[in-house]
Structure 1
Amino acid sequence: MDTSTDFALPPVTLRIGGQARSVGVGIHEHINPATGQPDALVPLAGAAEVDEAVHAAHRAFTHWRATPAGTRAKALLKLAQLVEEHTEEFAALAIADNGIARASANATVAAAVEWIRYYGGWADKLPLGRITSAVGAGGSFGHTLRQPYGVIGAIITWNAPLMSLAMKVPAALAAGNTVVVKPSELTPFSAMLFADLISEAGIPAGVFNVIPGGAEAGAALVEHPLVKKVTFTGGPETARKITSACAQTFKPVLLELGGKSANLIFADADLEAAAMHSTYMAFGVMSGQACALPTRLLVQESIYDAFVAKVGAIAASFKVGNPQEPDTICGPVINQGAIDRIDSMVKRAQEQGARLVTGGQRLEGDLAGGFYYPPTVLADVNPDSELAQKEVFGPVLAIIRFSDEAEALAIANGTDYGLSGSIWTGDARRAIRLAEALETGEVAVNGAAIAVAERPFGGIGHSGNGNEGGLEGLEEFFWTKSVAYGNG
């Protein structure tokens, strides 16, 4: 299978204080998920390289925080323009990073541009605090200041590297912080072009630093005393380690973790639209490898059998294959480990009574060299089973039957996660009731977009804490100081 592109992969380097470095403590061989073949060597940062990057960011902080807000805004808006102008390159890098299909890759770049532009627009309109009157303060004049932390340590996962950068870096820079980001060694390419464009946008050297690496680099970044806040996207197990390390010095941490989002389909919904949208969101966005996707489909019993059949037919029609081809809906998953995990969960679900509607077997033939797993629909899933409770992070949809609104709500809230939720209904009152009752950080009704820049995005429970997006996402990168002036 030809997965070649006219765009050459950039060399992967450490980016420290504006300088590219190709030497670290080791080398990771990047594997193209579409072919299963190596295509690049990734230098891995160790503790020494992390220390250099943090000190570079620390030195840059004094100048960057004093940079006029209008100048920071101009640079970030320029960055948004540059990312948009390099859409084709970023899409090609996304395909090389993790095999995302081209249509999704293009959409991801567009979304990233909006996130950067949104926070660029906030940079010169920052919420600086409030004033307390002399009377209300017992005779003294007081006010509050919102101040940047300093160096932010950002650790991003492999499934959406450009989006993770766009959801973290612009807000942190708009607030006056500097950033050291550790991208996953599995997906290093997008961060390279992003770093180049950061410099081209006029953002000074040291304000943004990139240190590809594994667990050693992540631990060194989290524990570094000059890193004043950590923002992490990834899984709960790693988040526990990060939280424990940060707790030693009471360092604040922002966690955007996993999800097992429920998608509630009521009989009075637009069923054609609900079926197409629900199926695409489960499989067509990064082959199911995203935290906020609606991977539990809860269907009212009066329409259950017909809806399951419709979803199964749509899923089976999605083209799985070369992510370069424009009609491909689902590309590969990230690696062999993902294939093994996904397949074992599908097999166990069937042993526990789930009914396989479509998919359920690694693809062979022309796709045998890559990591391809087809859209897999399992019906009659027990709400308490592994498949309904654990994040698969792959193209697998669990369908569960419910009788009424109360049962749907109980099933939807019956997991440790609380990131996103979806509702399909023609009853506006029901939508309002359920939107309030769902224990999630975000609710989408009748196909509304999720994880958009202007709204806060974050979860509760095992889905993390804090927010990215909206004004709330900007406020994550300030701390508050209270100042008072007496009469003496």
Structure 2
Amino acid sequence: MKDLNIVTDTQLALPDTPYRACHFIDGQRVDSAEGRTSERVSPSHGVVVSRAALGGEAEAEAAIRVARAAFDDGRWSRLSGRVRAIVLNRVADLIEANAERLALMETLESGKPITQARAECSGAADLWRYAASLARTVHGDSHNTLGGDVLAMVLKEPIGVVSIITPWNFPFWILSQKLPFALAAGCTCVVKPSEMTPSTTAMLAELLTEAGLPAGVCNIVLGCGNPVGSLMSTHEAVDMVSFTGSTAVGKTITKVAGETLKKVALELGGKNAQVIFGDADLESAADAVTFGVYFNVGQCCNSSSRIIVHEDIAEEFVARVVALSRKVAFGNPLHPDTQVGAIVTPEHQAKIDGYVRAAVAAGAELCLGGEALDVPGVGAQFYRPTVLRNVTPDMAIAREEVFGPVLCVLTFQTLDEAIALSNDAHYGLSAGVWSDNVHTCLEFSRRAQAGTVWTNTWMDGFSEVTFGGMKQSGQGREIGSYGFEEFLEVKSVVMRLGRTRQPWVKTS
């Protein structure tokens, strides 16, 4: 472990008792009808940190029916945008006031570093505030050039009941990319967080009540994809499903939701490339690559898990990344200096290791890492920051989402080759390009098959700038005005003024 910056101590104490997470249905915190619960053992400390109600079809059915009734009676959908915005802004204030409590629970359940959890939870407040602004500014169109006796309007109305299904890697942030925008549009919602990280979503229920959100407008059901998520994706009373998670599950949701022709918005996997040209600022690029692959322990759909480097600078650039990787603070997530925390489950850790071992067996060169690690005083659910070079495009590690702190390196000679390698994936979530030549950056950005392209930076995000993928990275968009409009239906209203319509049936 001499080549790693290990952090073993902590500045935060573990809670005395596990957090008790409940369902939230019709404004009430409730346990499961059968009394079933699930426990979450912290991946970074090996102790039970939360005990959550484990729901089934009964709880999901109840939540959906309540959300349907709440939408149909207009208690939220027919309120003015101003009133909805007031409530959403109150939620944002309460999120900021409770950010430390939310962040600690997020770290305990997911294993991510506390500093990253703090940024995620406190930063989510801005998403709620931006959504609140959209609630007041949404509008349709009018057409007054159709003739002197005709006026037409195009209205934007809430789509109805939305099922929101969120993952374990960014539980609070991804929830905040969806829920406030759905609420701003006037929808009612049923939310299911991952069974591995249910608590911050359950905590949000308290804040929604305190902010004055009417009962039944947002309902939360804790449980597994089957049966809870399955019913949320197929129920006839649900109008839309918004899901973030694996591509495999996203494909299943698309199929089953098609039986009732629900709208489906999906944010799925990624195999995101950063392309580094010879004229790039190599110091900044190496730092961004290191951040991009190790942020959130690499368990991030936007992870820059492959880099495509010009042959002339490949050796120098890889050496820079390896040197920086050795300096990354790695270990106890409860220490503020830690940058790389724990892997979410032992099974996922084994999957990551399997990808690395298969790549080495296929001829890739291991420059750093490549093994699980037992951090003294913390536990064994950690994976060393790993860099592999001499990776070829046909290797699984270059094509599939590893979802761990593993970087693979490919090389190129020409711009066309770099673009072809970047696009040679089933996914199309994000991509990056590093060059001091604006023409290179612009051409790459226009030709890259990705929903987001960063130039001379990585993973800068803003509430105003929409996010989503191409190809098997998903469909639909989140955040920004485009993400907001996912939750709206468009309706045309055509009005004829006076008695000017000519009769179709002649009476004489």
TM-score normalised according to structure 2 size:
0.92
Q: Does the 8 Å CA contact 1:7/1:89 hold for their aligned counterparts?
A: no
> Partner residue of 1:484?
494
- Give 1:38 deviation, angstroms: 2.9
Paired residues of 1:97 and 1:190 also in contact (CA < 8 A): no
**What corresponds to 2:321 in structure 1?**
311
Letter in 1 for 2:237: L
Instruction: Extract unaligned runs of 5+ from structure 1.
Output: none
Q: CA RMSD in A?
A: 1.6
Q: State how far apart, in whole Å, the 2-side matches of 1:338 and 1:296 are.
A: 19
For the pair shown, which has the larger CA radius of gyration, 1 or 2? 2
Q: Deviations over 1:413-441 (max 9, x none)?
A: 00000000111110011111111000000
Whether the 8 Å contact between 2:192 and 2:223 is mirrored in structure 1 is yes
Which is worse superposed, 57-66 or 437-446? 57-66
Q: Superposed, which structure 2 residues align to 1:117-128 within 5 Å?
A: 117-127=129-139
Using the TM superposition, give the Cα deviation of residue 7 of structure 1 relative to its aligned residue in structure 2, in angstroms. 8.6
- Length, aligned pairs only: 485
Deviation, 1:49, is: 0.6
Deviates more, 1:387-396 or 1:5-14: 5-14
Kindly indicate whether the alpha-carbon contact (under 8 Å) linking 1:402 and 1:408 is maintained by their aligned counterparts in 2. yes
Match of 2:207 among 193, 197, 210: 197
Q: Secondary structure at the match of 1:423?
A: strand
Residue 29 of structure 1 deviates from its aligned partner by 2.2
Report the Cα distance in structure 2 between the residues aligned to 1:478 and 1:289, rounded to whole angstroms. 31
The correspondence of residues 126-145 of structure 1 with structure 2, limited to 5 A, is: 126-127=138-139, 129-133=140-144, 135-136=145-146, 139-145=149-155
Secondary structure of 1:64's match?
coil
Q: Which moved more, 1:313-322 or 1:255-264?
A: 313-322
Q: Secondary structure at the match of 2:103?
A: helix
Matching residue of 2:304: 294
Q: 1:93 to 1:45 in 2, by over 3 A?
A: same
Contact residue 24 and residue 44 of structure 1 kept, 8 A: no
Asked whether 1:326 is paired with 2:336, we answer yes
Q: Secondary structure at the match of 1:49?
A: helix
Matched, 1:13 2:22: yes
Q: Are residues 1:252 and 2:260 paired?
A: no
The equivalent residue for 2:173 is 163
Secondary structure in 1 matching 2:64: helix
Other-structure match for 1:401: 411
Q: Work out which of the residue numbers 30, 43, 46 in structure 1 matches 2:40.
A: 30
1:262 aligned partner: 273
| CA offset digits 1:283-308 (Å, max 9, x no partner) | 0x210001012111111111100111
- Structure 2: distance between partners of 1:35 and 1:98: 11
Q: 1:71–1:430: structure 2 CA closer, same or farther, 3 Å change rule?
A: same
Residue 95 in structure 1 maps to residue 107 in structure 2 = yes
Q: How many Å apart are 1:137 and its aligned residue?
A: 6.0
> Which moved further from structure 2: 411-420 or 30-39?
30-39
CA shift at 1:401, angstroms? 1.0
Q: How does 1:413-424 map onto structure 2 within 5 Å?
A: 413-424=423-434
Question: Is the 1:378–1:399 contact (alpha carbons within 8 Å) kept by the matching residues of 2?
Answer: yes
Give the letter aligned to residue 423 of structure 1: V
Aligned counterparts of 1:12 and 1:6: Cα–Cα separation in 2: 15
Cα distance per residue 1:24-49 (max 9 Å; x no partner):
55332211110233333222211111
Q: Take 2:152 and 2:135, find their aligned partners in 1: how far apart are those partners?
A: 25
Residues 1:73 and 2:85 aligned together? yes
Q: Is the Cα–Cα contact under 8 Å of residues 302 and 459 in structure 2 kept in the other structure?
A: no
Counterpart of 1:426 in structure 2 is: 436
In the alignment, what sits opposite 2:379? Answer: 369
Partners of 1:43 and 1:88 in 2: how far apart?
Answer: 23
CA drift of 1:367 comes to 5.9
Q: 3-state SS of the aligned residue for 2:191?
A: strand
Q: Deviations along 1:223-265, whole A, 9 cap, x unmatched?
A: 1111100000001111111101111111110000010000011
What is the identity, as a one-letter code, of the residue corresponding to 2:474? G
- How far apart, CA to CA, are the structure 1 residues paired with 2:384 and 2:209? 40
Q: Secondary structure at the match of 1:41?
A: strand
The residue type equivalent to 1:353 in the other structure is G
CA distance in 2, matches of 1:31, 1:448: 32
The one-letter amino acid paired with 2:276 is I
Distance in 2 of aligned mates of 1:234 and 1:447: 25
Check conservation: 1:16, 1:209, Cα contact below 8 A.
yes
> Identity rate of aligned residues, in percent?
35
**Which amino acid in structure 1 is aligned with residue 82 of structure 2?**
G
| Offset, 1:365 | 5.0
Q: Who is 2:293 aligned against?
A: 282
For residues 40-59 of structure 1, the aligned pairs below 5 Å read 40-59=50-69
